[in-house]
Structure 1
């Protein structure tokens, strides 16, 4: 097992391949700029910003995956506002959970009756902090 996001398990085996590539994590901070007459503006550190993560999942029927079902799982999580723990290896990423900000589907290969055989899904997650 590579990791998981809620009930979606990233794995590679001889029967099933569901993994990601182009994994990118963005970490930033928040700053305020205060105008000062006759001087340069003063900067004030406000705190950490919410981290974001993006990655692409290649889904292919030849690797034991049903691409349409997997795409629908991400779509449902995005539309429902689901927040889940993201684990890579045996380590949870971030301070708490992650929400699905966006899901972009690319239907690469469509079979005769409209079945999606191959697709790519771009996922964007944002850190979710429940307690203020």
Structure 2
């Protein structure tokens, strides 16, 4: 093996160890999570991983003004959860263009999937990839992207609501009020979760 190859392999090892040491959610194979056909993982030859995970949960309230008294707060509803994942794509560890094309397809077609990190869904509902921010930080002499920094922004996706409560599939089926689209979405997500369990564990 050449000296140059030794240096490259050593560089890969250092990057892998530095990343892995920052994540307690790795299993012994470096598997992290999945969203649709995007698999987040780290090993000595492949790196596609968020550098951090930002979760936002909140609520909305009503304010009722009182006379000569403080306002009275009334809970209205919870907000949809949002998730942001900063991801760095490095040419030597992942096919950058393949990943970008998958993300482009997902965000522009409005695809929804469970978002699973560390073997656990981040919500009982699926997530919509609302935007992908990309910054190319390094290219070679031919303009090929060597390093690209992404931010993946997700929003919780709830397809059916009635009177402030979520309609369960059982309720919908009994009353025959759901659409064929909702049937398909639920069936697809059920199959995805089965497949995810096979791929992750």
What is the TM-score of this pair, normalised by structure 1?
A: 0.90
In 2, Cα distance between the equivalents of 1:43 and 1:68?
A: 50
Aligned to 1:105: 134
Aligned to 1:114: 143
Say if 1:81 and 1:99, in contact at 8 Å, map to a contact too: yes
Alignment of 1:48-87 (within 5 A): 48-63=78-93, 65-87=94-116
- Higher strand fraction (1 or 2): 1
State the structure with bigger RCO (CA 8 A, min sep 6), 1 or 2: 1
- Higher helix fraction (1 or 2): 2
Aligned length: 131
Aligned to 2:192: none
In 2, Cα distance between the equivalents of 1:122 and 1:83?
A: 17
Tell me if 1:89 matches 2:89: no
In 2, Cα distance between the equivalents of 1:76 and 1:110?
A: 24
What is the TM-score of this pair, normalised by structure 2?
A: 0.61
Q: Which consecutive unaligned segments of at least 5 residues does structure 2 have?
A: 1-30, 162-201
The structure whose Rg is larger is 2
What root-mean-square deviation, in Å, do the aligned CA atoms of Structure 1 and Structure 2 show?
A: 1.4
